[in-house]
Homo-oligomer: A and B are copies of this chain.
């Protein structure tokens, strides 16, 4: 699994704590965790293309959440970074076996493929259950100071 998933989720969470309507540049989001700015920017672009963030060009530009945290699931973020492919990709080796047919789609026919897909669906379902708002609420209940300290960190940052 892509490391960018971790970066993206943390960045989304941080964006919930900055002043509303305030855009944050990729450079600042990267500085928060000392991440490579150019590469994090790529991930943020992916989030923007997926409709999770909106981006603004020019001075005072940057990224902000495109929707309310309640309407962004963890699965949305993971899918935006990881792409549409499944973790288990069936290579349809049954086609090479005896009795294999050229024109059969073994990704749907093969019992093993189905079994792996079922597990992956359980994974997706679990990730879809949690929203950014849920994560935010959990963090805030455990670490009440986080919203203030995060907001002020971004406010006081000198690049």
Contacts and interface: CB of A to CB of B under 8 A. Distances in A.
A17 interface: no
B135 A5 contact: no
Nearest to A128: B119
B6 A98 contact: no
Interface in A17-50: 32-35
Interface in A65-122: 74, 87-91, 93-94, 96-99, 111-112, 115-116, 118-120, 122
A140 B111 CA distance: 10
Interface residues of A, number: 44
**Assembly stoichiometry (copies):** 2
A120 B120 CA distance: 9
A94 B33 CA distance: 7
Given A10-B112, A93-B10, A111-B142, A5 B120 contact: no
B111 A149 contact: no
B99 A149 contact: yes
Contact of A119 (B94, B118, B123, B139): B123
A127 interface: yes
Given A74-B115, A122-B123, 10 more contacts: A1-B88, A3-B91, A7-B93, A32-B97, A34-B97, A74-B116, A111-B142, A115-B135, A119-B127, A122-B122
6 contacts: A1-B88, A7-B93, A34-B96, A74-B116, A115-B130, A119-B123
